[in-house]
Amino acid sequence: MINSPPRIDATESLWTLGDGTMCVLAKCHNPPKYAVSLMRHAQVVRQRRVYGEAAARMLAENWRQSAGSQTGPFVFVTWFPLYG
């Protein structure tokens, strides 16, 4: 079965580590509504879709703690909508 990419309504960059690793939360049009992606050097390292925003943010925080303990400080960034 081939899955088409989700239609994304908006994205939010949640955090970025000193080595360039970043976590992005995307709000999708269809359920599961939220996609959390861990990216490094424009490559998706991990990705997971969940139904609730709180679950997505908790997952992202867990990934930050795991990655941050190995690489150093992080920076929070804010919403930026995708238009399409």
Q: Where are the domains of the chain?
A: 19-71
Residues 5-60: tens digit of each pLDDT: 668 888 999 999 998 999 999 999 999 999 999 999 889 999 999 999 999 999 99
User: What DSSP character marks residue 41?
Assistant: T
Contacts made by residues 25-30, CB under 8 angstroms, sequence distance 24+: 25/53, 25/56, 25/57, 25/60, 27/53, 30/6
For residue 60, the surrounding DSSP H or E stretch is helix 53-71
pTM over 0.85: no
Q: Is the pLDDT of residue 72 over 80?
A: no
Determine the Cα–Cα distance for residues 68 and 36; give it in Å rounded to an integer: 17
Q: What is the pLDDT of residue 71?
A: 47
Q: Which residues pair with 31 in a beta bridge?
A: none
Tokens of 56: 């997505």
